[in-house]
Amino acid sequence: MTSSKFLVALAVAATANAHAADAAVATQWGTVAEPAYPATVCGQPLAATLKPVNASADTLDKDPSRSQPDAARIQAAIDACPAGQAVKLVKGAGGESGFISGPLTLKSGVTLWVDTGVTLFASRNPKDYDTGTGACGTAGSASGKLCKPFIVADKTAKSGIVGGGIIDGRGGSLLTSGTNANARSWWDVAYQKRTQNLTPQTFRILQIQNGSDFTLHGITLQNSPNFHVWGYGVTGLTAWGIKLLTPSLAYTRDGYQCPAGTTPDVLTPATCFTPDTAINTDGFDTGYSSNVLLAYSYISVGDDHVAIKSSSGSGAHRHTYAHNHFYYGHALSIGSETNAGVSDIAVTDLSIDGYDSGTGGGLRIKSDSSVGGQVSNVSYTGICSRNISHPLTFDSFYSGATGSLYPSFTGVTVRDFHHLGSSKYQGGTLTFAGYALNGQNNPLTITLDNVVFDGTQPTYTPGHNGASLNPYATHFTLGPGPVSFASSIVASSANGVTITGNGAGGGTARSCGAAFVPLKSVLATSPI
């Protein structure tokens, strides 16, 4: 299917299915239906034996020598399970609902099924994740990842994680061994990046690497010490109806109303966390992966909602993000590593409510000349946003790092985008910066069609890191629908800004009346 035909099909599907629950999604590689759960459970379901207290397992594993009581039996069940079947975690006969485990390894063809009402808690003992350096659970000068992920799928095919249950990384729980035992949580360790510029060694909940056809369905991943989902080198990754949340109610207050003096910026160990103080907790990140679908999902985290990276391999190609709801988080981002190439990315029917956090972002492509590359054919269609400070960011000068890997963003389209504003940031700020420096001329080429900001119109971030002004090195096509801030875009040969169309056409702003869904209405552990 050509890109133009695909975009038409995607828009038609989004309109036709606006009121349908979990309808099939048109993607660049074909129509994808809601995944089916495995028909067969291998052996008997594994029954929980632990009873969490107030959604916390901290009273159950204070002794670091007993930090992962369920690891061996879960891993053994996975290892013995035949391809095409599932290992299922269920409640115990007495209502027990908790499992505690250290790192787990999935294998090809096997699905881990965490049943509704069940929580699989990650160990809070850094020794369980350590790679042999002794650095896991600390912050220092060492680079690289020195903690194993909680769950890893390495070179697997047709495996996955499903179910209505929860996988909890326990990012706000005090560590039980090492130099930070009973002194810091994983998030306190991570916060040392901000306070002391140290490199924290924390773990990701789920790492999918160099495999194919991985499925996430219905599962909740919450309170990750680092990224929630990190997939790289994957061909075929479907995440459908998942929920990613940090922090949950176990580590905060309703509405993230932490009392003064309880958060990491003023207290160690902290007793209350917000998304802005649970740092580097990206939601759904992929690196040089293709045929990626995220659909009907909910994300509220302390960093990027989504980050599409492309630093090696054959690049990142053919991603579809459809019918999703975002809350706290930095943006649906491409970059900053784009040097292996990114192409054919489609986003449709997305709502973003950033709760005026100050770091809230909307749509973003970010890179610089140290990690830049070609980003092409990216479409955003049917977006509702509010309460964010940076609704649209397309920035080839994202950081001050320099090199000879020059960014180039072409074929970007934003259509039917409606920003309802913010009482704190009004229309927010915008960035349109192609790359024109060091003898390079790689203008951002972008179409804005029916892009409407209510109330006070957006302003522009100052020029930075080599882009003298904003907009800079950008070729705009405006319309045929209205662009509410079109009058603020000025053509300039000196700045490399050209304009086709005027954005003064007629049209109706995308309806956002039913776009914003309280996260608590779909996830009981949510504070919002």
Positions marked catalytic: 303, 330
- Distance, in Å, from the CA atom of 120 to the CA atom of 163, rounded to the nearest integer, reads 12
Residue 27 sits at the vertex; the CA angle it makes with 522 and 226, to the nearest 5 degrees, is 50
Compute CA distances 482 → 10, 110, 147, 497, whole Å.
22, 50, 50, 19
β-bridge partners, 173: none
Q: How far apart (Å, rounded) are the C-alpha atoms in residues 464 and 298?
A: 33
The dihedrals phi and psi of 212, each to the nearest 5 degrees, come to -150, 150
CA distance linking residue 388 with residue 409, whole number of Å? 23
CA dist 458 and 443 (Å) reads 22
In contact, 433 and 444? CB cutoff 8 Å:
yes
Q: Do residues 219 and 162 touch, judged by C-beta distance below 8 A?
A: yes
* Torsional sign, CA 518, 524, 526, 528: positive
Nearest-angstrom CA–CA distance, 395 and 466: 11
d(CA 34, CA 31): 10
DSSP state letters, 288-309: S-EEEEEES-EEE-SS-SEEEE
Among candidate residues 375, 414, 394, the one with its CA nearest the CA of residue 503: 414
Residues 6+ apart with CB under 8 A from 134: 178
| DSSP secondary structure letter of residue 318 | E
Residue 281 · residue 303 · CB < 8 Å: yes
Buried b (16+ CB within 10 A) or exposed e, 487-517: eebeeeeebbbebebebeeeeebbebeebbe
What is d(CA 265, CA 14) in angstroms, rounded to the nearest whole number?
43
CA distance 405 to 341: 11
Backbone φ, ψ for residue 71 (5° rounding): -60, -50
